Structures are given as structure tokens and as C-alpha cells.
Amino acid sequence: MMKELFGSPGRKSGLILRIGQCVFASASIGVMTSASGFSTATAFCYLIASMGLQVLWSFGLACLDIHALRFNKDLYNHIVVSLFVVGDWVTATLSLAAACSSAGVMVLFTKDTNFCIVKTKFSCGMFQISIAFAFMSWFLLAISSYIMFWLVASI
């Protein structure tokens, strides 16, 4: 029998985590795509792609949580939870890599080259906000990944 932890699949806390991941990833995409000049850095495009995958993954699992809550379904199945673990780890790795690479580009733009001061048409502030949203989405995903790992370990 699996333990019921905060953020477990099929629980309200799990649904809240997934919705938070989806909202922050969507916000990251929205802010980045509305910023002028985002396509100049491959890292920013990778961030959009990674957050797009995060939105799809989190939205799909949020829908599954809603279904489980609405119809009182049990999602504590070894195969289902193992799939959640692998999916969470993959998306968490991609999300963290994208957020870190984008943050590295921003350090280069703001501290090392003064690119943001020289090129005023670029929305460097919006880039930073988008990256912050990506890190927040990743943090919530890291919590979910940790919970899923402990659920699988308790089987």
C-alpha cells in the first residue's frame, strides 16, 4: 500500500501543484514571446519549447487528477506512478536546463557585455521575468518529482 503524501496523484494538493506548474510555465511562455528580441538567443527559444512541454505534461496530469477526484478513482498503481516519475524527471531536467541556460544568457547580456544597455530594443526585463516564472514552474515540478519518487519507493 502506498503512502498518501501531500501532492500525491489524485489528491487536491497534487492538483494544485500541477495547476501551479502549468500556470507558471504558461506565464513564462507568454512573457517571453511578448518580449521583443527573444529569438536572438537559442536559449530563450529552448526555454519556450521546454515550458511548452511542461504545460502539456502538467495540464494532462491535472486533468487526470480532476478525473480521479471527480469519480473517486485510485491512482495508486505502480505502473501509473512509475510513469509519473519518469515523466516528471524528464520534464524537470529539461525545464531546469532551459531555465539555467536562459539565466546564463541573461547574465552575459546584463553583466558581462552590457548588451541590455546598448540594445534598448530588447526587452531584457521581460526576459528576466520569464526566466523567473520558469524557475518557479521547475520548483513546483521538483516537489512533484520528489513526491513521486517516494511513492514508488514505498511500494
Task: Name the pLDDT band for 40 (thresholds 50, 70, 90).
Answer: confident
Please tell me the distance from the alpha carbon of residue 15 to that of residue 149, in angstroms, as a whole number. Answer: 17
Instruction: Give me the pLDDT at residue 2, please.
Output: 53
Report CA 119 to chain centroid distance, whole Å.
Answer: 30
Please tell me the distance from the alpha carbon of residue 62 to that of residue 17, in angstroms, as a whole number. Answer: 9
Pair 36, 121: CB distance under 8 Å: yes
Q: Domain residue spans in the chain?
A: 12-154
pLDDT higher at 1 or 30: 30
Predicted model pTM: 0.93
Instruction: Report, as an integer, the average pLDDT of 30-39.
Output: 94
Q: Which amino acid is at 63?
A: C
pLDDT tens across 72-96, in order?
A: 988 878 888 889 999 999 999 999 9
Helix, strand or coil, per DSSP, at residue 135: helix
